[in-house]
Structure 1
Amino acid sequence: MDSILKISHLGKSYQNAGRTLVVLDDINFSISPGSTNAIVGPSGSGKTTLLGLCAGLDRSTTGSVELNGIALDKLTEDERAEVRNRNVGFIFQNFQLLPTLTALENVMVPLELRGEKNIRPRALELLDKVGLADRGHHYPLQLSGGEQQRVSLARAFSNQPKILFADEPTGNLDAETSEKVEGLLFDLNRDAGTTLILVTHDLELAAKTGRIIRIKGGRVAEDIINKHNA
């Protein structure tokens, strides 16, 4: 497969008080399997909206999204959810762990949704990889922000996604913790051969990827291959 994600003439607009608000306009790019990519741009430029469309969390107004060879635009909500469950991992700025589940149980959730058996050993192995083997029985509120994000990293990789979307993954963390989480993210990604798409304000983090797509005013302003990391 040449591209794991193909975006063609993608647009997203909303009707507001009789006016049309254009958030994204005629976005085009393809993402190669196994690559690392950053989407950057100022607040309000449409980065998070673009990420949601790429992952099939939302539906575009115009254009198309093809994820792992599947055209998302033609699918129902349930079918899109199934595609995400089979192909996609997510990391969010605010962790989005389930508060009533332990760290271990949170990591097991994507595997349970897929109906897989004997999932506990895999979840434990992933917690060990992110340095939290001894924290599996703790609930999110008993963990620091950095620990919660490391649990969400383990959860994101638990279903062996083909593509991982990370929305400001270090946005709520201090500099030292951010560095640790970034290192784990890139290490896990490389080991698993996953395709990574990061949305970030952090240009230092973006510079660690192989390609930087800059969004401005809802359009692609720049698309740079970073030769050091490509």
Structure 2
Amino acid sequence: MSAENILEVQNVSKTYKSAGTALRVLSNIDFSIPRGSTVAITGPSGSGKTTLLGLCAGLDRASAGSVILNKVKLDQLNENELAAIRNNHVGFIFQNFQLMPTLTALENVMVPMELRREKNVTQRAMELLAKVGLSDRAQHYPIQLSGGEQQRVSLARAFSNKPDILFADEPTGNLDGETSEKIQQLLFELNREAGTTLIIVTHDLELAAHTSRIIKLKAGTIQSDLYV
């Protein structure tokens, strides 16, 4: 594996078995992503986008083939080792925010840093909330925040553990047009500043166009892989 590639997906397939039948969601997916890239994975519903993201991030295991993340072969790791890889190297942004409802905005941002036993976590979390324009909402709970504000907290949390690679699954999917545009600008701004590799799963072709590469899936296979 080349030292410059942070992610390699090698001939990966994923099959789900249910009620005695097999459903193949991904077939022979093969690509590599250099460190610092911005990549969009697009395609119609059911094309395997979110499944592929889950395999790349170590949230699920491939049925065949290998995923190598930051020089580590994920299919050789146990669940605890996978969790450690995610905590140390990976950031996530989800369509439905995935904030912990019993924690304030500040506490949600602090969680990844506390898991890593970092120091000065309150100060760094406040700095990140300031970057996303939420200094005055730090003590609010998710239910007290709008969708756009919740996604800003999610952005701050995603960058809090200084990830090598950030996976965003439909990050603007639950937001209106104006809010979506603001979140999009923040995402790319924070990403440039941190120098993180960014992989976005999205239906939004306008969002995809802001990345440097678009991988399009169709029926579980790569239909095209274009540099923008």
Q: TM-score range by the shorter chain?
A: over 0.9
**Aligned counterpart for 2:194 among listed residues 192, 206, 209:** 192
Structure 1 runs of 4+ aligned residues shifted over 4 Å read none
- Cα deviation 1:36-92 (Å, max 9, x = unaligned): 000000000000000000000001100000000000000001100000000000000
Report SS of the residue matched to 2:5.
coil
Distance 1:136 1:151 in 2: 9
Distance 2:107 2:80 in 1: 24
User: What is the percent sequence identity of the aligned residues?
Assistant: 69
Distance 1:105 1:88 in 2: 19
Report SS of the residue matched to 1:190.
helix
Q: Which amino acid aligns with 1:151?
A: V
Distance 1:72 1:44 in 2: 24
Q: Which amino acid aligns with 1:59?
A: R
Distance 2:47 2:80 in 1: 29
Distance 1:136 1:32 in 2: 35
**1:105 alignment counterpart:** 107
**1:92 alignment counterpart:** 94
**1:144 alignment counterpart:** 146
Report SS of the residue matched to 2:41.
strand
Distance 2:48 2:125 in 1: 34
Q: Which amino acid aligns with 2:67?
A: V
**1:37 alignment counterpart:** 39
Distance 2:84 2:219 in 1: 32
**1:214 alignment counterpart:** 216
Per-residue deviation, 1:25:
0.4
- After TM superposition, the score normalised by the length of structure 1 is 0.97
Q: Which amino acid aligns with 1:27?
A: I
**1:81 alignment counterpart:** 83
- After TM superposition, the score normalised by the length of structure 2 is 0.98
Per-residue deviation, 1:148:
0.2
Alignment of 1:170 onto 2:172: yes
Q: Which amino acid aligns with 1:53?
A: L
Report SS of the residue matched to 1:4.
strand
Per-residue deviation, 1:116:
1.0
Per-residue deviation, 1:224:
0.3
Distance 1:14 1:84 in 2: 23
Distance 2:174 2:160 in 1: 23
- Cα deviation 1:103-149 (Å, max 9, x = unaligned): 00000000011111211111000000000011100000000000000
Per-residue deviation, 1:16:
2.1
Report SS of the residue matched to 2:51.
helix
Where does structure 2 lack aligned partners over 5 or more consecutive residues? none
Per-residue deviation, 1:17:
2.4
Per-residue deviation, 1:205:
0.5
